[in-house]
Amino acid sequence: MPPELPRSVLDAADTSAITQLILRERESRDLGRWDEMRECFFGDSVVRISWFRGSGADFVTGSIDMARRKVLAKHRLSPIRVVLSGNRAIARLVGIIDLPVQIKGAEMNLATYSRFIYRVERRKEAWGIVGFDAIYMRDELTAAIPGVAVAIDPKELQGFRASYRMLSYYLASQGYEIDSNLAGEDRPDLVAALTKEIEDWAGSAA
């Protein structure tokens, strides 16, 4: 009978597997590999982001529709921090959502800075995503062609949260219903509530 592997080795293997799971989900989203993306989520998973709330499977369907509508977001990702808690884990990273947009006839680049939080679980020896949330930090709108300017009346931005104001403005203009009650750095109370919810789920202060 082979000797049992040290806990540190097993934890490192789990951390690597979870990291690859998160990278696979994000890469599949960006490249339109929808079947691969769908495989990353368990059936009872929940996704809660600016334009979507629902299951992982429905999130994939919504992402397909978004791509068909030429809302083509890409993601820049930081290293991933994984905190293990038995058969559950929390994965955290910073992500920048890059979105080429047309606003008032001008080509612009919209960048939204966020912290992504994934809840993952091991079932039948395989890790899968059971939750995906975002904590919004800030966003910025810059000209795709230097020197081009766009004037937006501040009244058009009323009702949109400061931490994801321009993202909300653009997605609303494309017909998306925006959830304005998500965690963001302009609402530390919502960040604290989300953090507690996720840590309670994991059973550890991560």
Domain carrying residue 19: 7-197
179, part of any domain: yes
53 part of a folded domain = yes
Is residue 202 assigned to a domain? Answer: no
Task: Let me know if residue 55 belongs to a domain.
Answer: yes
DSSP-derived secondary structure for 30-56: HHT-HHHHHHTEEEEEEEEETTEEE-H
Pair of tokens at residue 37: 């993306």
Domain holding 14: CATH number?
3.10.450.50
Q: Taking a C-beta distance cutoff of 8 angstroms, is the pair 60, 37 a contact?
A: yes
| 204 belongs to a structural domain | no
pLDDT score, position 1? 40
Quick check: is 105 in a domain?
yes
Handedness of CA 24, 30, 34, 38 (dihedral sign): positive
pLDDT tens digits for 108-141? 999 999 999 999 999 999 999 999 999 999 999 9
Does a structural domain hold residue 1? no
Per the structure, the count of domains in the chain is 1
pLDDT digits (tens, 9 = 90+) for 95-107: 999 999 999 999 9
Helix (H, G, I), strand (E, B) or coil at 42: strand
For 126-180, write each residue's pLDDT tens digit.
Answer: 999 999 999 999 999 999 999 998 999 999 999 999 999 999 999 999 999 999 9
Please check whether residue 205 lies inside any domain of the structure.
Answer: no
For the chain, how many residues are written?
206
